[in-house]
Amino acid sequence: MEEQKKSFGLLVRPRGLVETDVPHDWFKKMRKSSPISFDPDRNCWDVFSYKDVQMVLQNFRQFSSNRNGLFPTLLDLDPPTHRRYRNIVSQAFTPKAIQALAPRIESLTKELLASIKDKLEIDIIADIAFPLPVIVISEMLGVPSEDREKFKEWSNIVVSSTQSLSPDEMNDLMEKQGKALYDLQAYFYQIVEKRQNDPKKDLVSTLIAANVDGEKLSVEELLNFCFLLLVAGNETTTNLIGNTMLTLFERPNVLDQLYKDKSLISAAIEESLRFRSPVHSMNRFVTEDIYLNGINLKKGQEIMAWIGSANRDETVFNEPEDFDINRSPNNHLAFGSGVHFCLGSQLARLEANICITEMLKALPNMKLDKTKELRIIPSTFVYGYKELPVIIE
């Protein structure tokens, strides 16, 4: 059971965090009362302060990313293996390569908006924020359009978690996640095999050809990177767009500012990354007995770094509960810190910026439909909402 938990990440929600909760009240309480705490149900330490979260994310020697997973990705590796892997993969994520995607992202956004232009009610998640990153990643990987929904379903299963400690529910979820992981592996294997024989202008072909000092990615490494890109690049970008728009709808004066001056959108996205972080936590494993802030951590124990809490730490951010698009500096940890700083951060920012800019151009009179309940995604890893219903006036 413990090895399966490592394979799939955190499945059980911590004590005090209810599935339907917006977690920031819990974060605030824990920063004040128990900035480092142990949850026996999960056999896991939780850290909540900015300095501790940053330290855990940066200190790969004492806090390892090795989760002994079924399909290890960049997120599961420590240096020097991680450095070699990342150096090869990063060749496909240069600033020039990312910026070259801008025209296509803009075109896709306009197509999605054109398809809803006569509607009086829309769901920003289903109509725009979900399909855009899925299409972008699918095209980057050379995946046909008819498989996009399948991708989303796999992604949702992989990042899901459960509040219940019922063995039956745990086993059921693990079984579903295992199947999703194997289905993904088999699917991407077919794509890699095709590109090895017939290279195209897509990311898989680029990664097959890439090398550092004569070294190339193995087939297994290629497959695992495709899996990582699907989950990290799809789910989190959808949530970044959705979380930003929800925060703006809650603050009509700020939304009005952005309607009038779209150059402020980048700053709004940056503050949204802090205020409603799309990735709320990352786990590590203690490599040696450590004395941390008066607490003994034992070798092999799991430790959860709560990024969503760190980004509202009162000792780092002035008035952290306020959404301030003029915040400076804004040294949030939404994309992580250290060697695992998110490789796709610039792509996520670019997609969100283009998407929100085009939405504000095409839909000048949007407001949140407050008659419908917002449902939070049941995950401790990602943070976002299942729907974002909007009325077009």
pLDDT value of residue 315:
97
Q: Is residue 183 part of a domain?
A: no
98 phi and psi angles, rounded to 5 deg: -70, -45
312 phi and psi angles, rounded to 5 deg: -125, 25
* Closest alpha carbon to 130 in 107, 114, 146, 153: 153
pLDDT value of residue 10:
43
Of 47-56, 114-123, 171-180, 187-196, the poorest mean pLDDT is in: 171-180
Any idea what the Cα angle at residue 128 is, between residues 254 and 11, rounded to 5°? 95
Contact indicator for 262, 360 with CB cutoff of 8 Å: yes
When pLDDT is averaged across residues 17-27 and rounded to a whole number, the result is 73
pLDDT value of residue 182:
85
Q: At which residue do the structure tokens 């802090």 appear?
A: 274
Is the pLDDT assigned to residue 162 strictly greater than 80? no
Q: Is residue 203 part of a domain?
A: no
* Closest alpha carbon to 2 in 56, 68, 47: 68
* Tens-place pLDDT, residues 318-370: 999 999 999 999 999 999 999 888 888 999 999 999 999 999 999 998 999 99
Which pLDDT band holds residue 19 (cuts at 50, 70, 90)?
low
Q: Is residue 213 part of a domain?
A: no
pLDDT value of residue 21:
58
Which pLDDT band holds residue 390 (cuts at 50, 70, 90)?
very high
Phi-psi region of 336 (alpha: psi -120 to 50; beta: other; left: phi over 0): left
* Tens-place pLDDT, residues 39-87: 988 889 999 999 999 999 999 999 999 876 655 677 777 888 788 878 8
How many separate domains does the chain show? 1
* Tens-place pLDDT, residues 135-147: 898 888 887 888 8
% the chain with pLDDT above 70: 91
Report helix, strand or coil for 290. Answer: strand
Of 26-30, 65-69, 193-197, 279-283, the poorest mean pLDDT is in: 65-69
When pLDDT is averaged across residues 215-228 and rounded to a whole number, the result is 82
Identify any residues that bridge with 212 across adjacent strands, giving them in sequence order.
Answer: 215
pLDDT value of residue 288:
95
Alpha helices in 39-101 (DSSP H): 50-58, 81-89, 95-99
Q: Is the peptide bond before 133 cis (omega within 30 degrees of 0)?
A: no
Is the pLDDT assigned to residue 13 strictly greater than 80? no
% the chain with pLDDT above 90: 54
Cα separations in angstroms, 41 against 44, 166, 344 = 8, 12, 33
Q: Is residue 217 part of a domain?
A: no
Contact indicator for 314, 36 with CB cutoff of 8 Å: no
Q: Which residues contact 179 (CB under 8 A, 6 or more apart)?
A: none
d(Cα 193, Cα 183) in Å, to the nearest integer?
Answer: 16
pLDDT value of residue 371:
95
| Domain extent for 37 | 2-135+231-392
Of 22-31, 120-129, 139-148, 233-242, the poorest mean pLDDT is in: 139-148
Residue type, 14: P
d(Cα 199, Cα 114) in Å, to the nearest integer?
Answer: 33
Contact indicator for 144, 245 with CB cutoff of 8 Å: no
287 phi and psi angles, rounded to 5 deg: -90, -15
Residue type, 133: P
pLDDT value of residue 301:
93
Q: Is residue 204 part of a domain?
A: no
CATH of the domain at 54: 1.10.630.10
Residue 264 corresponds to which tokens in the numbers above? Answer: 């402020």
* Tens-place pLDDT, residues 245-271: 999 999 999 999 999 999 999 999 999
Of 121-135, 212-226, 265-279, the poorest mean pLDDT is in: 212-226
Is the pLDDT assigned to residue 110 strictly greater than 90? yes
Q: Is residue 55 part of a domain?
A: yes
Q: Is residue 353 part of a domain?
A: yes
Q: Which residues contact 166 (CB under 8 A, 6 or more apart)?
A: none
Task: Work out the number of other CB atoms within 10 angstroms of the CB of residue 15.
Answer: 13
Contact indicator for 109, 355 with CB cutoff of 8 Å: yes
Residue type, 217: L
Q: Which residues contact 121 (CB under 8 A, 6 or more apart)?
A: 369, 389, 390, 391, 392
* Closest alpha carbon to 173 in 303, 298, 8, 296: 8
Q: Is residue 326 part of a domain?
A: yes
pLDDT value of residue 69:
61
When pLDDT is averaged across residues 372-389 and rounded to a whole number, the result is 90
String of b and e for 354-367 (b: at least 16 CB within 10 Å)? bbbbbbbebbeebe
When pLDDT is averaged across residues 265-289 and rounded to a whole number, the result is 96
Average pLDDT taken over every residue of the chain: 87
pLDDT value of residue 334:
97
